Amino acid sequence: MNPTGKWAAIVGIVALAAVLASYTSTDPESEAMMDLQTAKGIAVAMADEAAALVPAQNVGDQSQFTTAHLMGCSAGGYTWPGLTTLTLIGEVNGEELIEAIASAWEQKPGVTVERKAVRGGTLRVDMIATQGDSYSAGVWDSGKTLKIDSFSPCFEMEDGLKPGMEY
């Protein structure tokens, strides 16, 4: 990818992060805030679930953020942003993979799933879950990489934790 394309991808990811982090919960039962570890666990589990939809023979490498700087939530509190990256090998149909993830996410009660075509016609799927957590999955690098962005449900900062630190 050329430097201009990389810059455009970075700007797009930052913009997506800002939009997804601004969503608030639509579930009245989720008004009670949770702690960091619970929120982070929800985000990591959802990303792992989406990554598991890729056949093992098509995964060359998988990495996942274990720590990240917290972001503010529009509903108050903070969200933990995560990223899971899979290097795809062999014959992988990116559109079919994104459709499989979208279909799996649509089976969850109360979620909103939106399919989008992004740069160069690449498909991406976004999901907003009932607790305000949000996820985005897309196949990038000419079909060689699956990236799953995750933003945990909002949580309250616990005693001893500071917003500028990585968790």
User: Looking at residue 69, which CATH number applies to its domain?
Assistant: 3.30.2030
In a domain, 156, yes or no: no
Burial 23-51 (b: 16+ CB within 10 A, else e): bebeeeebeebbebeebbebbbebbeebb
- pLDDT given for residue 115 in this prediction: 95
For residue 167, tell me if it sits in a domain. Answer: no
Is residue 134 one of the residues assigned to a domain? Answer: yes
In a domain? residue 164 = no
**Structural domain harbouring 34:** 3-151
pLDDT of residue 165: 83
Residue-level pLDDT at 33 = 64
Q: How far is CA 78 from CA 9, 17, 71, 81, 144, in A?
A: 25, 13, 5, 10, 32
Q: What is the pLDDT of residues 36-83, one digit of tens each?
A: 999 999 999 999 999 999 999 999 999 999 999 999 988 789 999 999
Per the structure, the count of domains in the chain is: 1
Compare 95 and 161 and report the one with higher pLDDT. 95
This prediction has a pTM of: 0.79
**26 or 39, which is more confident:** 39
Average model confidence (pLDDT) for the chain? 82
- Asked if the structure places residue 146 within a domain, the reply is yes
Q: Is residue 80 part of a domain?
A: yes
Phi/psi for 48 (5° steps) reads -60, -40
Residue 67: predicted pLDDT: 94
* Residue 160 domain flag: no
CA-based end-to-end distance of the chain: 31
CA separation for the pair 125, 109 (Å, rounded): 17
Q: Is 31 left (phi over 0), alpha (psi -120 to 50) or beta?
A: alpha
Is residue 32 very low, low, confident or very high in pLDDT (cuts 50, 70, 90)? low
Q: Alpha-carbon distance 155 to 76, whole Å?
A: 8
Angstrom distance (rounded) from CA 137 to CA 67: 19
Percent of the chain with pLDDT over 70: 80
Mean pLDDT value of segment 16-25: 38
DSSP 155: B
Please check whether residue 72 lies inside any domain of the structure. yes
